[in-house]
Homo-oligomer: A and B are copies of this chain.
């Protein structure tokens, strides 16, 4: 067995409820496969601001740097959304940890479990067989460029900026992944308008030459947002910047039936960071109805990517599949048109996955 230190950061809103299940699944895997996982907990986001005034306390960052992998929940709170003038904000914690840990590549696999074919607003015949792996650049773009507000507060700006090396390193990662899949890569930008996108496209065109076995396509973001719904099967690996990736992957959640199913892995310099794509969902937080599967599938990604434990990772995915096959559903993935679904809350659903693990 392996010996690993995992930092768990539940964060805000439903992050608290679902991350508990990601962690329980990791514990169960450790027990079943005789690994030794030790867990620490860290605070970040609104909860950290409330406790310390800082959305990413130094202590959490230290723990993160000293861990072998991080399981994160969600971030954000209505209070800040309703008051855009607040200076200290939960999201700053998430952006800072991504930057500090050098997590420049955010992998977001979009795959539909057969059992959820009917849960989406998109027609089953459009969805069947769709399987997309997004590579979203995560430490550059308009997220991290300089932000300004004039003194009279009447003008505000953010710098959308990319450096060649930032595009190169994530492009290589995306091409390497495309090689192990269907050998198609679609790079998404807005090169007909944006200079940062023109650099993006130039660099991807160069890196493409190193991978002649992969078919490269360039697409404008507006067209990509349409094609994703019109014909999701045309995509294999999608490579894009931070902002466009944020938008496209949320949109792509409809391909997987629900946002509540989607996990992501952020990797880069060293330690990997795993989180559901969904947010803190303050409208349903505390009600015990959030879908724990995205956190559980994030745990599966963690086992695979950070620890190289492929068998264990597959075991988790199979347990999720089995749970869905048995008809268990959280609200977000229930099919309103059948009576065969057993609708349950977060804890009941998590418990079913645990049962199926054993």
Contact = CB atoms under 8 A, between A and B. Distances in A.
Interface in A211-252: 218, 221-223, 225-226, 228-231, 243-244, 246-251
Interface residues of A, number: 69
A81 B147 contact: no
B91 A199 contact: no
Interface in A169-205: 190-202, 205
Interface string A132-149: 000000000011010111
Given A122-B229, A148-B195, A156-B200, 19 more contacts: A84-B191, A85-B202, A122-B122, A153-B199, A154-B165, A154-B199, A155-B163, A155-B164, A157-B159, A158-B160, A158-B195, A190-B243, A222-B246, A225-B247, A225-B248, A226-B251, A228-B251, A230-B254, A251-B251
8 contacts: A147-B194, A148-B195, A149-B199, A154-B165, A157-B160, A158-B161, A190-B246, A226-B253
Interface of A: 76, 80-82, 84-85, 89-91, 95, 121-123, 126, 142-143, 145, 147-149, 153-165, 190-202, 205, 218, 221-223, 225-226, 228-231, 243-244, 246-251, 253-254, 259, 279
List the 3 closest pairs (A to B, CB-CB), nearest first: A156-B199, A84-B198, A222-B250
